[in-house]
Amino acid sequence: MGTATSSMAAKFAFFPPNPPSYNIVVDEETGKLRISDVHQREDVDVLKLSTKKGNEIVAIYVKNSSASLTVLYSHGNAADLGQMYHIFSELSLHLNVNLMGYDYSGYGHSSGKPSEQDTYADIEAAYKCLEETYGVKEEDTILYGQSVGSGPALELATRLPQLRAVILHSPILSGLRVMYPVKKTFWFDIYKNIDKIPLVNCPVLVIHGTEDEVVDFSHEYLRHLRKFISAIEKMPPHLRVASGQSTDQPNQPPNTSDANKEKLRPSTDQPNQPSNTPDANKEKSRSSTDHRDKARPSTGQKEKSRLSTDSREKGRASTDRREKSRKSIDRATKARNSTDQPERARNSFDRLGDMVRSVGLCNADCLKQTASEA
C-alpha cells in the first residue's frame, strides 16, 4: 500500500523535462565530461555520481577561487541541469560561492525514476562528493532547495548539525498541502517539510518570487541572497547554532541560591551571641537577694533564649526554602532536559528567527506559523 501510494504521489510531484534539455559529451582534448549547447567554462566540472539506490546522477560543480562557502543547490520541478547551467554560473559569480547542482534520478541524463526516497539518495551522493572530492566541510556548506528541491534539502539539513545555513526558494509545506489545505500530516504524504523545519539547527532564509512592473524581481533576488550569505559568512561560530545558547542557563539559579546561602550562613551562629553580651554578664554578676530579682534575669534569659530559638527556626526555615527552591529548579531542569528533540529544535528555530531578523533578513515564519496551527 505504501509503495503504491508513493508511486502515485511521484506521478503528481515530478515532471522531468522530456526530452532532456542537454546532452553529455566527452571533451576530446581533456577527456572530461561536458554539457552540450552551453558556453564551455574551465571552472565547471561535470560529474556522474552513484547513489545508494543504484542510480547514476549527473552533477556540475562551479568553482570560485575566492569563495569560502559552498552552495549545494537542489533545483525545482520541470527543470534540469541544461536549463540551470547559466543560473548556477551567475549565482557562483555574484554570490562569491562555489556551487554544486545535480539532476534528480530520472531527470536530464540521470538514470532511474524520480521518487521521494531517490531524491534523498541523490542529494546524499552530491554532498558526499563535495566532502570527498572537493574537501568541503559541513560548516562551510549552504543547502539551497527550490520548490520540490526543498524536500531533499530539508531532509539532509536535519542530519547535518553543523550546517552553515539553509535557503528555501518557493518551498512547499508538503506534497499533499500543495493540492489541499489540510491541517495535519498524513502518513502517505511526501516531503513533510512542515514537520522537518523545526529540526533544522541553523539560520534559514525563505524567499518567494513575485512580480514588479518596474524592476525585475531578479534584482531583489540577488540583493537579498548576497545580504544573507554575507551575514552568514561574517557570523561568529558560536552564534551559528542557536541550540547551544540555552545549555548554560539552567545552571544559574542553583549558583545564585548557593550565593544566598553563603550570605545567610553567618545568621546560623547568632543564637550563641546573646549569652556573651555585656547585659548578660551584668545580670550574672549582680548579687540578688530578692527572689523576684532572681526571677527577672531568668525571665530575660528565657526571652533571649526564645529569640535565639526563633532566629534558629527562621534560619532553618530559610534553609528549607532554599532546599525546596533548589529541588524545584532541579525538577524544572530535568523536565526541560527530558523535552523531546522536536520541541527543543522548535525553540531553537524561534531563536534563529530572531537572530536572522536582527541582521535585516527574513526567515521561515510562514512555515513556523503553519506548523503551530498543525
pLDDT band at 155 (very low <50, low <70, confident <90, very high): very high
Straight-line distance from the first to the last Cα atom of the chain, in angstroms, rounded to the nearest whole number? 25
Instruction: Let me know how long the chain is.
Output: 374
Read off the C-alpha cell for 57: 546522477
pTM for the full predicted model: 0.63
3-state DSSP of 101-170: EECCCCCCCCCCCCCHHHHHHHHHHHHHHHHHHHCCCHHHEEEEEEHHHHHHHHHHHCCCCCCCEEEEEC
Fold annotation for 24-239? Rossmann fold (3.40.50)
Which residues 6+ apart lie within 8 Å of 207 measured at CB?
A: 167, 168, 169, 170, 221, 224, 225, 362
- Interval 226-269: pLDDT, tens: 999 999 998 877 666 544 333 334 344 444 444 444 444 444 44
How far is the C-alpha of 207 from the C-alpha of 245, rounded, in Å?
27
Given this model, what pLDDT does residue 80 score?
Answer: 96
pLDDT tens profile 264-307: 444 444 444 444 444 544 444 444 444 444 444 444 455 555 55
pLDDT digits (tens, 9 = 90+) for 169-206: 989 998 888 888 888 888 888 999 999 999 999 999 99
Give Dmax over CA atoms of the chain in angstroms.
128
- Radius of gyration of the chain measured on its C-alpha atoms: 34
Alpha-carbon dihedral angle through residues 215, 218, 223, 226, given to the nearest 10 degrees: -170
pLDDT band at 37 (very low <50, low <70, confident <90, very high): confident
For CA atoms 174, 175, 177, 178, give the dihedral sign.
positive
User: How many CA atoms does the CB half-sphere of 228 hold within 13 Å?
Assistant: 26
